[in-house]
Amino acid sequence: MFVVQACGEFDADEVDLLLAAWEEADERALPATVVDLTGCVFGDSSFLGALLIARSRHLASGRQLVLAGPLQPRILLLLAVSGTMEAFDVTENLAEAVNRSTG
């Protein structure tokens, strides 16, 4: 399992960090990636786009992508308003995400 910890705010200036993490996840080709969003307080459309890219890459390669919460209010709002919440496997906490991605 590959774990990506996203903390702080993510907009177009920071999204390259996530895209680099997705590249590393692809290179490692582990069965699952957990994105720990507990410390992520803001994300704009470029952040959402990066998450959707990760989702597409994981689906295409048969790997699992899990978003670990608890999600902060602005992240919840972004996923709800964009209608993408159902596209992601979201857990209440990191331990649940790790458990889900390992078995």
CATH number of the domain at 50, please.
3.30.750.24
Section 7-36 average pLDDT:
96
Structure confidence at residue 102 (pLDDT): 80
For residues 87 and 58, is the Cβ–Cβ distance under 8 A?
no
Structure confidence at residue 78 (pLDDT): 98
Section 58-85 average pLDDT:
98
User: What domain range is 59 assigned to?
Assistant: 2-102
Give the whole-number percent of the chain exceeding pLDDT 70. Answer: 99
Number of independent structural domains in the chain = 1
Structure confidence at residue 101 (pLDDT): 86
Helix axes 45-60, 15-28, angle to 10 degrees: 10
What separation in angstroms does the CA of 73 have from each of 52, 69, 77, 103? 19, 11, 6, 29
Q: What 8-state DSSP symbol labels residue 62?
A: T
Give the type of residue at 45: S
Question: Is a pLDDT exceeding 90 seen at residue 75?
Answer: yes
For residues 95 and 68, is the Cβ–Cβ distance under 8 A?
no
Give the whole-number percent of the chain exceeding pLDDT 90. Answer: 96
What separation in angstroms does the CA of 7 have from each of 29, 72, 99? 24, 11, 21
Confidence of residue 27 (pLDDT cuts 50, 70, 90): very high
Structure confidence at residue 103 (pLDDT): 64
Structure confidence at residue 56 (pLDDT): 98
